[in-house]
Amino acid sequence: MAIYINDKTRVLVQGMTGNQGSFHTGQMLAYGTKIIGGVSPGKGGQSVEGITVYNTVFEAVEKESADASILFIPAPFAKDAALEALAAGIKILILIPEHIPLHDAMDIMTQARQNNAVVVGPNTFGLVSSGASKIGIMPNQYFIPGPVGVVSRSGTLCYEIVGHLTENEVGTTTVVGLGGDRVVGLHFVDVLKEFEKDPETKTVVLVGEIGGSAEEEAAAFIKSSMTKPVIAYLAGKSAPPGKRMGHAGAIIERGRGTFESKVEALTAAGVKVADLPTKVPALVKEVIGNK
Amino acid sequence: MKLYEYLGKELFERYGIPIPKGRVVENAEQAGEAAAELGEVVIKSQVLTGKRGKAGGISFASSSDEAIKEAKRIFSMELGGFTADNLLVEEKVQIEQEIYLALTVDGAAQRPVVLVSLDGGMDVEDVSEERMIRWPVDVTVGLQAFMVREICRKLGVEGSLQKEFIKLLPKLYKMFREMDAELAEINPLALTPEGLIAADAKVTIDDDALYRHPQLPMIKEKTALELKAEELDLAYVELEGDIAVMANGAGITMATLDMVQHYGGSPANFLDFGGGADVEKTSQALELLLGTNPKVLLINIFGGITRCDVVAEAFARVRESKGIELPVSFRLVGTNETEGRAILDKAGIKSFTSMDEAVSHAVDLLNAS
């Protein structure tokens, strides 16, 4: 089952002829993702890894029909490309680029809400339903099928944690990267809701970090509405207040969004918080039974 | 990018938001001249630190001589580690009430949000939730008069003040959207006998949208190293400890710092050199780190879009050209791991596959040094 995407999801790649677009088209195909076409304005008729490139999203959708689109488009042009995908009826939009202007992101999200479309990112590694479909840039070898749902704000740290699970022969249903920007499409609560409904997901690992209030909101949701056990790891314990640590989100202000407040909220909601990334697998095994 | 108050006020003026009469000055004599022209004045240090007032960076003067004296004092003082290049000398406005007004981005709601309170001024952070009105704005609708009327109803504001709000809020919203602001804050928005005047301006422009606003000056209040890192497009923050840390990705870099502390060490910095860096950029990042004279170097690479061989190659190259003498703990896994490890092996550098081992090794190295 998994959430959001599965082996039937038909995927379009916007910006397919660029460096990143073509490389990751190959990687996604190798993973088994059903890529039905690419879009690069002015490059229509070319092909990448045997996949046809179209000039517009409308043209691609007319010829092939698509459910999802992944964007490898430079930040200044990402808004136009995202709105194009939404206008053409794409319901799952994955925004890989970082540095998309904040007001552009708000425009995209508003349009997506009106179209009932799901946006993942921006500044995300994407999402993967393990063994079925990968729409993103994460390394293929770590995402094997299993009973754990993973949702993360950061990329590499998520690979680290999924890597530890894989080493321990624990696989994943779906792994979702929310993205590190201040305005992103999906939040923890949206994804937790889906995992709660998904029969294959037995437990959820939440990878968070300091700054903002997303983890606190997740804690409130877990407490009120989740029956499945949740394990968490949070980065930023040692960060001094007021210093920006790279992600637009990762900044502590006015005593809110601190490591302590997040751990406290999650613990109070019954979430087990691992103090090191390496300790996540043991906690997961504890809740799903050591099989 | 945070704008100095006077730059924020220039934007306000351009969008028709009333500001006090004033002048930006570069030295005490000019402050004296401004005071002679404006009469009773307020003199404000143009630094980006909050709490300027409480720290003594804002002062009043009623004569030219007094203005010169105060300007000299403020120019010589350090606020948050920085001295001011400019002062803003403004007419003193007669404030009947201090209002707080801001537009910012509500990440959870994915929209702009208006914040208004009638309890503006220095202690606005302590204003209770019910005294701070929040109004999210749908960007496809924009900030309309009916919204302002509704905000006013919640505030208990009527009559001429409501009319002023209806004129002013849409102007601030227009500026917020057109200028790609993350924050446009007026505190206090002064109610004076002449109406509403923006007595202060705190405007932050989205760094990712600066390319759309080439007319704005570049403002940099950072240490030399942080500036250098910015040039190289690295996320770098100086910290107090001894172990220099370099990793790829903000989350994992933070987790690495946490783990250093967990094992009893202290990190010297946060350095996220991002994803997909080439040999050149990786070398520059390394050289920057070595320039800080740390006692131990810890490199933590989980290659996704970043290639392990590129990082290994850069490290071997910098070591050869600069001669790295300090102890190094290297963790390397992910994309092109085998190739990367081969390069390190050839150069006689030991590397770990586990982050835990690499971090605890770094702390051991520190304790042994």
Look up the CATH number of the domain holding residue B157. Answer: 3.30.470.20
Question: Which residues, given as ranges, of chain B have pLDDT below 70?
Answer: 50, 220-223
Give domain status of residue B352, yes or no: yes
Select the more confidently predicted residue: B56 or A82. Answer: A82
- B271 with B169, same domain? no
Q: Where in chain A is the domain with CATH 3.40.50.261?
A: 138-288
Report the alpha-carbon distance of residue B210 to residue B232 in Å, rounded. 17
pLDDT digits over B271-312, tens only?
988 777 788 888 888 888 888 889 999 999 998 778 899 999
Name the average pLDDT for chain B. Answer: 91
Report the alpha-carbon distance of residue A20 to residue A48 in Å, rounded. 12
| A113 band by pLDDT with thresholds 50, 70 and 90 | very high
Given a cut of 80, whether residue A240 has pLDDT beyond it is no
- B167 with B254, same domain? no
Task: Work out the number of other CB atoms within 10 angstroms of the CB of residue A151.
Answer: 28
Directed axis angle between helix B159-178 and helix B5-14, to 10°?
Answer: 110
Q: B303: which chain A residues are within 8 Å (Cβ-Cβ)?
A: 139
Q: B239: which chain A residues are within 8 Å (Cβ-Cβ)?
A: 240
pLDDT digits over A136-154, tens only?
999 899 999 999 999 999 8
Which residue type occupies B316?
A
Place of tokens 């504001």: B157
Residues 6 or more apart in contact with residue B222 via CB below 8 angstroms: B230
Closest to A103 (Cβ–Cβ): which among B177, B258, B333?
Answer: B177
Say yes or no for a CB contact (<8 Å) between B105 and A106: yes
Q: Are A200 and A147 contacting, i.e. CB atoms less than 8 angstroms apart?
A: yes
Structural element, H or E, at residue A247: none
Closest CA to A35 of A77, A78, A68: A68
Closest to B250 (Cβ–Cβ): which among A99, A187, A247?
Answer: A247
Give domain status of residue B62, yes or no: yes
Q: Which domain holds residue B197?
A: 97-212
pLDDT for B222 equals: 66
Say yes or no for a CB contact (<8 Å) between B356 and A158: no
pLDDT digits over B96-133, tens only?
999 999 999 988 899 999 999 999 887 777 788 788 99
Which residues of A are known catalytic residues? 247
Given a cut of 90, whether residue A288 has pLDDT beyond it is no
B53 interfacial to chain A (CB closer than 8 Å): no
State both tokens at B239: 């910290």
Structural element, H or E, at residue A82: helix A75-87
Predicted complex ipTM:
0.87
Domain containing residue B354: CATH number? 3.40.50.261
Cis peptide before A122 (omega within 30 of 0): yes
Closest to A137 (Cβ–Cβ): which among B250, B304, B356?
Answer: B304
A252 interfacial to chain B (CB closer than 8 Å): no
Q: Are A43 and A69 contacting, i.e. CB atoms less than 8 angstroms apart?
A: no
Structural element, H or E, at residue B305: none
Q: A105: which chain B residues are within 8 Å (Cβ-Cβ)?
A: 110
Among the three residues B58, B91, B124, which one is the final residue of a domain in this structure?
A: B91
Given a cut of 50, whether residue A252 has pLDDT beyond it is no
State both tokens at B36: 């002679």
Catalytic site residue from B70, B185, B313, B337: B185
Average pLDDT over residues A103-110: 98
SS3 A250: coil
Helices and strands counted in chain A (H then E): 9, 14
Structural element, H or E, at residue A4: none
Give domain status of residue B15, yes or no: no
- B101 with B141, same domain? yes
Among the three residues B182, B212, B242, which one is the final residue of a domain in this structure?
A: B212
Q: Cα dihedral sign for B50, B51, B57, B61?
A: positive
Average pLDDT over residues A203-223: 93
CATH no. of A138-288: 3.40.50.261
- What Rg value do the Cα atoms of chain B yield, rounded? 26
SS3 A172: strand
State both tokens at B285: 């990042």
Task: Work out the number of other CB atoms within 10 angstroms of the CB of residue B255.
Answer: 31
Given a cut of 50, whether residue A179 has pLDDT beyond it is yes
Prediction pTM value: 0.90
CA distances from A225 to A218, A221, A270, B81 (A): 10, 6, 12, 48
pLDDT for B110 equals: 93
Report the alpha-carbon distance of residue B228 to residue B235 in Å, rounded. 10
Lowest mean pLDDT among A18-27, A31-40, A60-69, A282-291: A282-291
- B115 with B187, same domain? yes
Closest to B209 (Cβ–Cβ): which among A101, A159, A180?
Answer: A101
pLDDT for A1 equals: 67
Interface test with B, best of A151, A238, A243, A278 (most B CBs within 10 A): A238
Given a cut of 70, whether residue A278 has pLDDT beyond it is yes
B333 interfacial to chain A (CB closer than 8 Å): yes
Among the three residues B91, B108, B143, which one is the final residue of a domain in this structure?
A: B91
pLDDT for A247 equals: 45
Q: Are A175 and A158 contacting, i.e. CB atoms less than 8 angstroms apart?
A: yes
CA dihedral B68, B72, B73, B76 (to 10 degrees): 170
Question: In total, how many domains does chain B have?
Answer: 3
> B23: left (phi > 0), else alpha (psi -120 to 50), else beta?
beta
A10-120: CATH topology is Rossmann fold (3.40.50)
B236 is catalytic: no
- B362 with B304, same domain? yes
State both tokens at A183: 């305005």
- B168 with B287, same domain? no
B192 interfacial to chain A (CB closer than 8 Å): no
Name the average pLDDT for chain A. Answer: 92
Say yes or no for a CB contact (<8 Å) between A209 and B177: no
